[in-house]
Amino acid sequence: MIIVTGAAGFISSCLVKELNLRGYNDIVVVDDFSKTEKNENLNGKKIVAKVPRKDFFSWAELFKKEIDFIFHLGARTDTTEFNKAIFDELNVEYSKRMWNFCSENNIPLVYASSAATYGLGEFGYEDNHEIPAKLKPLNPYGDSKNEFDKWVLNRMLSEAEAPVPPFWAGLKFFNVYGPNEYHKRRMASVIMHAHKQISETGAMKLFASHNPEYENGGQLRDFVYVKDVVSVCIYMMEKKPTSGLYNLGTGKARTFKDLAVATFHAMDKPISISYIDTPIDIRDKYQYYTEADMTKLITSGYTKPFYTLEEGVTDYVKNYLSKHSYF
C-alpha cells in the first residue's frame, strides 16, 4: 500500500496518476477533502481509500503493517502567507509526526522540501547537508521547509540513535508547472496565468525587473515540468538511492521571457509581452535567479532526460490548458 498526502493537490494528484500508469493502484490518498475545488484532480484515479488529513495518524495505526511507502507531499505552499503558526502546524509539526511514524514502523518516506529554502541563493543551490543550517529563506513557507530539513538532519546526526526511516529523501522542488493546478489561483504557475491572459487579451504581462543586473523578463528560474517531478518521486520509491536531500529541478535556469515566448508558440499566437511592477508585498522577497545543482540525483543513477522548457510548455498548453483537462 502506498500513501500519498496532499493528494488532491497539484503535484500529488499527478503522482497518483503516474503511479496508476505504472501499475500501482493500491493507493491511499490523504488530504483536506473539504476543499472541493481540488477534488476534481482525483477524478478517474485508481485509489483504495480517502483519509482526511486530520484522521491520518489514527487510521495509520490500524493499517501500518500494510503500508509499503509514504509520499508526504502535502503542505501549505502559499509564499504570500505570513502567519507563521499555519506553517508550523502543517509543514513542520505534521511532518515531524510523519517522520516519527515512518521511523517507528520501518516505512520508507519521500517528503517535499522546496527551493524556497535557498532564499536569495547566497550559499548557492547545492543539495549538500551542510548548507541548510546557513540558509536564509525569504518567507515563512521557505522557513518552514528549511526548519524541517534541519530537524531531519539533526535526527540523522543525533548520538541518541533515534530510529529513522529505512530510506528517506527530501526533494527540493524548484519551479514546478503542469496540469492539475487550476485550483491554485494566484499561486499557479506563470504558464497557467500566461495562457489565461493570452486567451483573453492576446498579450502577456510579466513582472518588470527591480534589480539592475536583470533586464525586464530576464529573471531566471529553474522551471521543471510536473511529469519529471513525479518520475523522480517514483524513482526514489523503486530504486531507493542513498537517503538525503535532493534537488529536483532541471539544472538549467531559463528566463520568464523564454517561458512567455514558449507559451505564445504553443498557442500559435503572435508574441506580445509587456511589463508591470512586481507587487510591493513580494518585491523585497523576490528571487531573481534559481538553478538546481542536479549532480546528486544524476550520480545516484537517475538517467531519464528532463523535458526542456519548450517541450513541457507545449505539452501542458496543447494537451491540458487548451482543453481544461487533467492529468
Residues of the chain by 3-state class (helix, strand, coil), percent to 5? 45, 15, 40
Name which of 296, 319, 305 is nearest 127 in CA terms: 296
pLDDT of residue 99: 96
| Structure confidence at residue 157 (pLDDT) | 77
Instruction: Supply the pLDDT for residue 133.
Output: 95
Q: Are residues 247 and 189 in the same domain?
A: no
Domain identity same for 238 and 319: no
Q: Is residue 267 pLDDT above 90, yes or no?
A: yes
pLDDT at 235 over 80: yes
170: exposed, middle or buried (Cβ count in 10 Å: 0-12, 13-18, 19+): buried
The total number of structural domains that make up the chain? 2
**Cell numbers placing 133:** 543550517
Taking only the tens place, the pLDDT of each residue in 8-23 is 999 999 999 999 999 9
Which of 65-69, 129-133, 209-213, 278-282 has the weakest average pLDDT?
278-282
Same domain for 95 and 214: no
Q: Do 90 and 189 fall into the same domain?
A: no
Residue 37 is predicted with a pLDDT of 85
Looking at the fold, whether 128 and 211 belong to one and the same domain comes out as: no
Average pLDDT, the chain: 93
Residue 78 scores a pLDDT above 70: no
Residue 91 has pLDDT above 90, yes or no: no
Range with lowest mean pLDDT among 29-38, 170-179, 239-248? 29-38
Q: What is the pLDDT of residue 88?
A: 72
In CATH, what number is assigned to the domain containing residue 200?
A: 3.90.25.10
Per DSSP (E only), the strands in 33-185 are 49-52, 69-72, 109-114, 168-173, 175-177
Of all residues in the chain, what percent carry a pLDDT higher than 90? 83
Q: Domain span at residue 95?
A: 2-176+223-251+295-300
Judge residue 279's burial from the number of C-beta atoms within 10 Å of its C-beta, 0-12 exposed, 13-18 middle, 19 or more buried: exposed
pLDDT tens-digit series, residues 122-163: 999 999 999 999 999 988 889 999 999 999 999 887 655 778
The residue-averaged pLDDT of 286-301 equals: 95
Residues marked active site are found at: 141, 184
Percentage of the chain exceeding pLDDT 70: 97
Per-residue confidence band for 280, with pLDDT thresholds at 50, 70 and 90: confident
Whichever domain contains 152, its CATH number is 3.40.50.720
pTM strictly above 0.85: yes
Residues 6+ apart with CB under 8 A from 210: 277, 278, 283, 286
Q: Are residues 96 and 193 in the same domain?
A: no
pLDDT of amino acid 82: 62
pLDDT at res. 75 = 79
The helix (H) or strand (E) run that includes residue 264 is helix 256-266
